[in-house]
Amino acid sequence: MKFIALGESDARLIELTPRVDERGSFTRIWCADSFAAQGIDFRPIQGNSSLTRVRGTIRGMHFQRDPKADAKIVRCTAGRIYDVIVDVRSKSPTRGQIFVSELAPSSATMLYIPAGFAHGFQTLEDNSTVEYLMGTEYVEALSDGFRHDDPMVGIKWPEPVTMLSARDAAWPFLSERKLW
């Protein structure tokens, strides 16, 4: 695994190293020692998978509040996504900064998202699957988010939005929130 810093943040793009032979490939997607060597204290607690059927769909922007703020590892195992994270930590030097990565199985990459970052993505292909390793369990009462089109944040999505859940459409703007 090769860990690549995203700007000055503690988020990381992780390049995986598939071992390829005539049968196909084998790729390590998790190694506690590799993460620890990078100074990342992350232990998966829960795994999730999402299938998004329609290109242009946005899921996000989501995060979980303290005391169960959630770090995660995200990778796209089918299709292709435009993945966006935003640092919403109140005392962070990268607060408000947007970090973007395109994830697809062919790129052999995944993204480590520290606790305190909002996460969302737009599908760039139909039938895109995203898998998550979560650093803490989901707690519905602490689940939070903000609108994908918040003008204060200014995310530039690459495609017109074709679908958005009612919940994601109802999130408030960050400027309306006490956390900002």
Residue 2's nearest CA partner among 166, 112, 93 is 112
Q: Is the peptide bond before 61 cis (omega within 30 degrees of 0)?
A: yes
**173 φ, ψ (degrees, to nearest 5):** -75, 155
Cβ atoms 111, 117 nearer than 8 A: no
Degrees, nearest 5: CA angle 67-46-11: 65
Query: Cα–Cα distance between 108 and 27 in angstroms, integer?
Result: 9
Q: Which residues are catalytic?
A: 62, 132
